[in-house]
Amino acid sequence: MGWSWYGNGDEWKYLDITNDWSGSSLTEWGNILLNHRNGIRNTSKICSIFNVGNGNDNNGQADSKITIEAESGILNGVSVCNSRLGYSGNGYVSGFDNESDSIKAIFNVESAGEYYINVQYASEYGDKYCTLYINDSNKGDKLLKQSTIFTDTYLDTVYLNSGENNIKLQSNWGYYDIDNFTITKK
């Protein structure tokens, strides 16, 4: 059961789901509540009246939001693991310890336009950077703040083509785990 978004004061702060009103960063409790394998994200179902399919191959998800499990991507120098709790899907990708290590995922969107790119990750040993590529174009280094549990963070807003696109994260600093990507229509 979730208690409140944010602002409970010092005595009840442990009940906050986010670290600020914008919701851009989840608290430890918020991440567990939403992203744990038994959390809201992994156990809730879309009411059929709101389920708008578009016929593309994104696991039945509407074009407005696509989740891509990292372990289903093209892995270069990294591997699928399942020892850290709280991942979605069948595992997560780990072993980013060389500069060239990367994960690349190919996906389709029905309509061209701007999309928000988020990643769910864990970076146990301090803040780290990764390099984001969209359709093989370098979008720069992105910060993954220290988190001992899987945390969702915004990476960028990018233009995607109608049809096939790809997203790639390359190691840069390394030593983090990647669980999934979320692509959401702006």
Smallest CA-to-CA distance from 56 within 162, 166, 167 is with 162
Type of residue at 35: N
Phi-psi label, residue 82: left if phi above 0, alpha if psi -120 to 50, beta otherwise: alpha
The predicted pLDDT at position 48 comes to: 42
The predicted pLDDT at position 49 comes to: 41
The predicted pLDDT at position 82 comes to: 93
The predicted pLDDT at position 23 comes to: 64
Beta bridge partners of 159: 114
Beta bridge partners of 141: 131
Smallest CA-to-CA distance from 154 within 114, 124, 125, 183 is with 183
The predicted pLDDT at position 44 comes to: 67
The predicted pLDDT at position 60 comes to: 43
The predicted pLDDT at position 42 comes to: 67
> Phi and psi at residue 128, in whole multiples of 5°?
-135, 165
* pLDDT by 10s per residue, the chain, length 186: 566 766 777 777 777 777 777 666 777 777 777 777 677 766 766 544 443 333 334 444 445 889 999 999 999 999 999 999 999 999 999 999 999 999 999 999 999 999 999 999 999 889 999 999 999 999 999 999 999 999 999 999 999 999 999 999 999 888 999 999 999 998
User: For the residues of the chain, what is the DSSP string, one character each?
Assistant: ---BSS--HHHHGGGBSBSSTT--SB-HHHHHHHHSTTSHHHH----TTT----SSSSTT--TTEEEEEGGGSEEES-EEE--STT--TT-EEE---STT-EEEEEEEESS-EEEEEEEEEEETTS-EEEEEEETTEEEEEEEE--EEEEEEEEEEEEEE-SEEEEEEEE-TT---EEEEEEEEE-
